[in-house]
């Protein structure tokens, strides 16, 4: 590594309920390993005057202070769009941004959520059948996950969300992006699960402050593979139940790791060591209090 890489990098995360996020630790540890002075700050909208309305001023302030970039999470992945100068192809397709690069006086929005999910899936469940996949959740994370599943080759994707307008909007978007694959909104979850190869869960059910199962346990069978995007906690009730039945499972840790890998690359222009970041995430996740205050 050249001496020019021993530089100061400022980055941060804007969103609500983020105090327990492991993203700062992932970025700063990898930055230190790469020889950088890497600082990653939290901008918690729950502790900021104006709440979500402060988004514009927070981005402007970070830009003025020389930040390399910002990660964006709930509830700002869509509301940030009009504040940006440019969108990557994937961010434009999804209509959601989780990473903003600040460089040359411009703000460029990216989406590393879908890539993070895809990388985790390819590593964790490399050989599962993808004929029919059921997805619960059509929010910002759900959009990224659905996009990833179709990119990975799912022949048919059935989406269910309690917000019907949001569900149908996502189905319409994904259908246009992937015209050769089948994307449909569903209301009959038992019927969909009866023919499904796997289930992707992209709602908040199962988080530390919202425990429970997102669907009746009798709908799960040993033939199903189950993927969770929640990583607060890593071992959700859904995963515990699915494993007990005999399902192959994948937790939400991998998506968190690889979206951070993608953001680090965008912020620094340097390829991070993904395996090293994964090992650091695992060490943090094993700490008893790691997710104690997470939502």
Q: Which residues are catalytic?
A: 77
Cα dihedral sign, 247-139-116-33: negative
Overall size of the chain counted in residues: 295
Coil, strand or helix at 246? coil
Using alpha carbons, list the distances in angstroms from residue 121 to 44, 140, 149, 220, 263.
29, 18, 9, 20, 18
Q: How many CB atoms lie within 10 A of CB 260?
A: 28
3-state secondary structure 190-244: HHHHHHCCEEEECCCCCECCECCCCCCHHHCCCCCEEEECCCCCCCCHHHHHHHH
Q: How far apart are CA 248 and CA 198, in angstroms?
A: 9
Q: Where are the beta strands (DSSP E) in 69-112?
A: 69-72, 86-87, 99-103, 106-110
Burial annotation 116-144 (CB, 10 A radius, 16+ → b, else e): bbbbbbeebbeeeebebbbbbbbbbbbbb
Radius of gyration of the chain from its Cα atoms, rounded to whole angstroms: 19
Q: How many CB atoms lie within 10 A of CB 68?
A: 20
Cβ–Cβ under 8 Å, residues 22 and 280: no
Cβ–Cβ under 8 Å, residues 135 and 100: no
């Amino acid at each position: 590594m050249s001496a020019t890489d021993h530089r100061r990098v400022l980055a941060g995360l804007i969103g609500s309920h983020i105090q327990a996020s492991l993203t700062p630790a992932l970025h700063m540890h990898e930055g230190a390993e790469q020889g950088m002075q890497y600082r990653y700050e939290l901008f918690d909208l729950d502790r900021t005057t104006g709440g979500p309305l402060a988004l514009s001023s927070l981005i402007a302030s970070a830009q003025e202070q020389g930040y390399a970039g910002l990660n964006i999470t709930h509830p700002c992945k869509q509301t940030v769009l009009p504040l940006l100068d440019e969108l990557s192809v994937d961010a434009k397709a999804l209509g959601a941004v989780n990473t903003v690069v600040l460089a040359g006086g411009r703000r460029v929005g990216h989406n590393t959520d879908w890539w993070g999910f895809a990388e985790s899936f390819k590593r964790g469940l490399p050989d599962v059948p993808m004929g029919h996949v059921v997805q619960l959740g059509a929010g910002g994370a759900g959009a990224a996950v659905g996009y990833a599943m179709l990119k990975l080759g799912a022949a048919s994707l059935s989406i269910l969300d309690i917000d019907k307008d949001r569900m149908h909007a996502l189905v319409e978007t994904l259908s246009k992006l992937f015209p050769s694959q089948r994307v449909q909104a569903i209301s009959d979850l038992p019927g969909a699960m009866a023919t499904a190869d796997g289930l992707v869960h992209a709602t908040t059910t199962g988080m530390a402050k919202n425990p429970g199962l997102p669907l009746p346990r009798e709908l799960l069978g040993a033939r199903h593979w189950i993927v969770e995007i929640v990583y607060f906690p890593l071992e959700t009730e859904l995963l515990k139940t699915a494993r007990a039945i005999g399902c192959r499972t994948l937790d939400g840790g991998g998506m968190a790791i690889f979206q951070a890998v993608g953001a680090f690359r965008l912020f620094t222009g340097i390829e991070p060591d993904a395996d090293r970041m994964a090992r650091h995430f695992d060490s943090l996740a094993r700490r008893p209090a790691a997710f104690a205050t997470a939502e």
